[in-house]
Amino acid sequence: MAESRLNTPFDQRAGTNLRGKRSVSELVASMIPNGANVFLSIGSTPLEVAKALSGHQELTVITNNLSAAMALSNEISNRILLPGGELRLPDRDFIGEEATDFFDRFRAEFAIFGVAGVAHDGGLLEFHPAEVRVRMKMQQHAAKSILVIDSSKFGRIAPALGGNISDVDVIACDRRPAPEFSDLADSLGEAISYSQGER
């Protein structure tokens, strides 16, 4: 399989475009009130959202992202729920049937999630079908869905398809995507926000 079709190691992804991810995360954290019920997905940008939420209190966080859970665990007023099953390393997350069933048992006000890539038609892409199933459960059972991405995700290739960016309530991105995605970005209207401006 071509190297470009494989996901990069988590620690490498976590350090890529950190400024953009942090600006997106601060934007999203400002949308979440204290006391909210939140689904939080796997991935490096959702982890940055968890860090940005560290000043919040009385959150109920339902997540399969162990690193995000740990980032929010310093605030003792928070309630954190995790699925069982095998911890996938080095990503430190849970996917698979147990995680999918886990999210079927909860409802949340907000679902905050990233994706591996966004196709030219707006399709949301992941590297594993199990990741798609868990993400779509979060979106299905939340009152408001929030996609957190940086602009490099537009056009990034991954094999597993699930959902479309047009079905997401809020898209938080660092900046406008490349010109070939201008029509797609424009079609999203006010649903998409840019944390570093539209340059």
Strand order in the sheet with 60-63: 79-81, 60-63, 37-40, 108-113, 142-149, 170-173, 192-194
Beta-bridge partners for 145: 111
Q: Are 23 and 47 in contact (CB under 8 A)?
A: no
Predicted TM-score (pTM) of this structure: 0.91
Closest to 66 (Cα-Cα) out of 91, 37, 101, 32? 91
pLDDT tens figures, 37-95:
999 999 999 999 999 999 999 999 999 999 999 999 999 999 999 999 999 999 999 99
Residues 6+ apart with CB under 8 A from 179: none
Evaluate if residue 2 carries a pLDDT over 60.
no
Check residue 12 and give its pLDDT.
52
pLDDT tens figures, 146-183:
999 999 999 999 999 999 999 999 999 999 999 999 99
Q: Are 163 and 131 in contact (CB under 8 A)?
A: no
**Whole-angstrom Cα distance, residue 161 to residue 23?**
27
What would the two tokens of residue 34 be? 């204290």
Q: How confident is the model at residue 197 (pLDDT cuts 50, 70, 90)?
A: confident
